Structure 1
């Protein structure tokens, strides 16, 4: 068979979305009703029909979920939110349907292949985790909780997405910013310049602006996005998750959530947080001491806060490692970076990206068909610049889940990069997020919808993306596309200095991530009355850099919705990513033997096997902590004639 990509509309997106989702919901409903009609069916038929319904539901969910976040028309976003609620109700009804459960449970697993058996076990597990085996009163309450959590999740995300804040500054307060930033921010008639909390403004401003008061003002606005609206949302969200977990027999939401992840239990999350925190203590303290010492050269101080870390990290990298980010960024023109990303990943994984002229939801979006060995393997959309009403962070969204011989995998990269010159950290982020997109496409040749694409345990999904970041730090690779406006390629010695400078700050970066992990875990476990106080305490204990007074970071911590209590997964995955990367030759990152083995054993299986088994298959051994520890313990080495922090 030759499956074709999903045909998007050129106009009337509301009608298309309503029809597309409506047809899929009806198809799923009809298929599930057939399973309950009393007809005797063999195991293969029952599982096949369940899969058909799953394909329909996941297709509806992907389309509606994407356009909530990216469509430029507010009425389409509103419709998409309503459709997401319908879809979630359908999924909840399915998973609480005792008659459906009895049909699947009655199937005979004998004779099923390994993946089909895994699929059957996961379906039955999902039924039980939804509460299908509870009494009618409990099932009714679980349904109410599920529906309410869907609405709260949308309210939380919308409050962040729509809350673009700004500060108004004198032109002099832009001192230190790159010339292209200043040119893009001309003074208004009153002589003041507006700088917003959107990433293309916020990230360079907190790194380059010399005016400490201006940096602090913008940081406070950034960390107050979603406040106060999201305070009540989070309280109700955490309470309902806890109630759901307890109704299902768990001690807490983290225990419920971790039960189907690699980590296993809520207590194991706490233990992992402590382990990583302890491992990073020395490196984190070294970094904080260096930042504070440098700050004291400008202003006597006992502490350093979140508005100052980016600025002083940049100063130290410039002064002690001879890396000036304003010099670095001139080599990273957005268009060249995008082209380079496709060339690098195409060479690494044996892929070809062919641009396609198809309907898109916004003119900024570019589309490509992905080919391997002359065969179309999927379609990707790149939506990489900010606009009003759009998702504010960086993420990969599914559009279509791939099914062997039936559906091509289609995914969307949603980011908020500037249109001109990029920070190198933005380049790293682009490689990271593209890792998810490639995983979705290459893992999208599965028989079963639930195993298609990025369908591993959730605390593994970041590992392939974190590993792909390494390709954004290689001198030869960067030299292939990092070219300034004069045609000069980024010098190899500059990249080597960048790599050396990267070792400075990793301690504080890991400690900050530990702080975020603790916040997501503790807010769910303890459900404190004062979220802000709890966040401040957690960040002071684990993150080393205290929060700014008067800020409410949790109100815009989007991962509290999607990742719930499991932000630890970024660190858990990073440990695995460092181990995966150890299999590559640092002097030949394109070695096809290793790259293709990685592609075929880590990415291509999707979720058809446990992540631990995928890793062991690739490495030839279970994953360990040694590679991460070695990376973390590597001290920064300053440039010749300069002192390391």
Structure 2
């Protein structure tokens, strides 16, 4: 009576988290794999002539039980890892890779799909059916269905090894993040705002330490770097943060990254491509490494110039403090925060009480209601962790989704923020959507306070959630966020804009102690500083994107760290800045194939999100109903029903140029002429 394999009777079809144990997963995965294999074999060996229904639609449903089990497992493994779950991840990885290769290299199955593809014009398929056939056929080809002999066997081996290495990279990074913390004596708290002290004490409790600590959670270490006047402690914390995955020993990721790059290049060659980036970008909006490089360099040049000018100002501030040393990366945030306070009369300690977690959740919900008519009501259902909470999402009384939020950092939780689906939308099925963040947890009885950047992260992930919740297609393969990687960030980055709408701040940025709205003067100062330090933020991002691109565009390096240094030197990386994600902890790129050769996607999507929000501003304002309806119709509800470029054109009437992005980042001087991302 394995609860993972029984009918789920909890409200809304929620997984029975309260009944599942870690011992249930291995037999459930094995049983689900057996079921999937039997289903695929029945499709491939069907004596009837291939039809869209008995082949493509049937294959679309073949993994249903397996997907259900894995959605639960990966939710727990990502948000609450433990040694047993890590061992299971390592055990499942080769099994799942082998199953994937069996399916995509099944000759009889592909023969049926290819037969339908060759007769596609005579099948009478509607738009979604034609799209599903196209994507299915393309996926099989890209996964090696046309390979023969030794190449076929080698590709399966490469994919299996890559899957294992991705798991190991993730677990090594999690171990470094979980195990490191820096204890603070009472004297070390000097200069830290109360919200940082509270977060450090709460983190100490979570680590089982009597006093305050700094951990590698971004929501704690960044404000520590912003406010601590102790340069020695800032350096120690910064080196631990940027050294994740490169500390030697069993958790070192450098050799893993090198092997991953070698295997990806081999995979691309087996599939007939010059480089992994050529293979990966073939299905993206960008289409080629050259187009990505052109966009990134258009942004890099003005961003670097702005960052160097800022570095001169921060160095002068160090000199005023009597320090004659070089401005280092662990100095930047400290002096930039002091400069922001001086130039904009703005500091994080003043802002943070206005960004309560609960009020920001309400703000995200309120914007979704005004834009799309969605309503959110708390529900009591089984969840994966006591910190998580859930809401039923309705529109005009009709059930649309269940939304789950898991917002606080904890040991065993993967760093960063993400959106996933415990169940994706398809015909007759509404989704269960999960947002995960890593905000600092407050002491008991105190409200959780976010930075403005944290609040933006919350809105970002909720934009992804809307993409899932508003999905309205027939097939899961094209639902929600099943779109090109450099298009998937459009809804999330676009939704960030509503956080800073003055009326949204007036209604929801309420002081944690007084309940009063943010004063107009403070709001104006906050918005006026919107592009403050943008040179730094842009440089650290674009540097990571360029390293990712160059890693995958040429012969893979024997030593990725040496190659990383060469790339940064070639583009003139300023000394006082580091990459946002250095190679040994670049999980976007090395924990799996998701953003490999694709970290540029955030900026490609930003070209569109700046232009898309301008559509609202050009119309009736940020809540213009006609533009909102177009956004839902052509993008949020449509999933991957059509090519991303066509979807954006249908929404906006044209593709944007890079100038809207540069304007939004305060870097317009070197903007390119309109004409689409290039």
**What TM-score results when the alignment is normalised by the length of structure 2?**
0.87
Match of 1:435 among 463, 469, 472: 463
CA 1:140–1:461: 2 relative to 1, 3 Å: same
Gap runs ≥5 in structure 1: 637-645
Per the alignment, residue 564 of structure 2 pairs with: 535
Match of 2:607 among 575, 595, 606: 575
CA contact (8 A) 2:12 2:402 kept: no
CA contact (8 A) 1:54 1:449 kept: no
1:156, distance to aligned residue in structure 2 (A) = 0.5
Per the alignment, residue 548 of structure 2 pairs with: 520
CA contact (8 A) 2:217 2:440 kept: no
Per the alignment, residue 94 of structure 1 pairs with: 103
Task: Name the CA distance, whole Å, in 2 between partners of 1:136 and 1:267.
Answer: 33
CA 1:543–1:508: 2 relative to 1, 3 Å: farther
1:301, distance to aligned residue in structure 2 (A) = 5.0
CA contact (8 A) 2:389 2:404 kept: yes
CA 1:92–1:348: 2 relative to 1, 3 Å: same
CA contact (8 A) 1:95 1:130 kept: yes
Secondary structure of the corresponding residue to residue 390 of structure 2: strand
Task: Name the CA distance, whole Å, in 1 between partners of 2:627 and 2:580.
Answer: 46
Secondary structure of the corresponding residue to residue 353 of structure 1: strand
1:241, distance to aligned residue in structure 2 (A) = 0.6
Per the alignment, residue 490 of structure 1 pairs with: 518
CA contact (8 A) 2:548 2:598 kept: yes
1:22, distance to aligned residue in structure 2 (A) = 4.4
Task: Name the CA distance, whole Å, in 1 between partners of 2:144 and 2:198.
Answer: 58
The answer as to 2:202 corresponding to 1:179 is: no
CA contact (8 A) 2:635 2:651 kept: yes
Match of 1:50 among 56, 59, 70: 59
Match of 1:200 among 219, 228, 231: 219
The answer as to 2:237 corresponding to 1:213 is: no
1:426, distance to aligned residue in structure 2 (A) = 0.5
Task: Name the CA distance, whole Å, in 2 between partners of 1:289 and 1:43.
Answer: 64
Secondary structure of the corresponding residue to residue 415 of structure 1: strand
1:483, distance to aligned residue in structure 2 (A) = 1.5
Match of 1:477 among 504, 525, 530: 504
* Pairing of 1:14-163 with structure 2 (within 5 A): 14-18=22-26, 21-37=29-45, 38-56=47-65, 58-71=67-80, 73-107=82-116, 108-109=119-120, 110=122, 111-163=124-176
1:597, distance to aligned residue in structure 2 (A) = 2.0
Task: Name the CA distance, whole Å, in 2 between partners of 1:48 and 1:552.
Answer: 40
The answer as to 2:280 corresponding to 1:251 is: no
Task: Name the CA distance, whole Å, in 1 between partners of 2:576 and 2:477.
Answer: 40
The answer as to 2:35 corresponding to 1:8 is: no
Gap runs ≥5 in structure 2: 1-8, 442-447, 670-678
Task: Name the CA distance, whole Å, in 2 between partners of 1:290 and 1:243.
Answer: 47
Secondary structure of the corresponding residue to residue 391 of structure 1: coil
Task: Name the CA distance, whole Å, in 1 between partners of 2:504 and 2:407.
Answer: 22
Match of 2:628 among 595, 601, 605: 595
Task: Name the CA distance, whole Å, in 1 between partners of 2:354 and 2:108.
Answer: 61
1:506, distance to aligned residue in structure 2 (A) = 1.4
Secondary structure of the corresponding residue to residue 615 of structure 2: coil
* Pairing of 1:137-536 with structure 2 (within 5 A): 137-164=150-177, 165-185=180-200, 193-227=212-246, 228=248, 229-301=252-324, 303-405=326-428, 407-419=429-441, 420-443=448-471, 445-484=472-511, 485-524=513-552, 525-536=554-565
1:77, distance to aligned residue in structure 2 (A) = 4.6
1:102, distance to aligned residue in structure 2 (A) = 0.3
CA 1:543–1:590: 2 relative to 1, 3 Å: farther
CA contact (8 A) 1:411 1:441 kept: yes
Per the alignment, residue 584 of structure 2 pairs with: 555
Secondary structure of the corresponding residue to residue 410 of structure 2: coil
Range that drifts further, 448-457 or 336-345? 336-345
Range that drifts further, 230-239 or 297-306? 297-306
Secondary structure of the corresponding residue to residue 393 of structure 2: strand
Task: Name the CA distance, whole Å, in 1 between partners of 2:405 and 2:144.
Answer: 39
Q: Deviations over 1:292-324 (max 9, x none)?
A: 333333245575332122222211211001111
Q: Deviations over 1:36-64 (max 9, x none)?
A: 22322423332211211254554454333
Secondary structure of the corresponding residue to residue 559 of structure 1: helix
Secondary structure of the corresponding residue to residue 584 of structure 1: helix
CA 1:20–1:382: 2 relative to 1, 3 Å: farther
CA 1:15–1:571: 2 relative to 1, 3 Å: same
Task: Name the CA distance, whole Å, in 1 between partners of 2:453 and 2:598.
Answer: 24
CA contact (8 A) 1:64 1:84 kept: no
1:206, distance to aligned residue in structure 2 (A) = 1.1
CA 1:174–1:451: 2 relative to 1, 3 Å: same
CA 1:128–1:355: 2 relative to 1, 3 Å: same
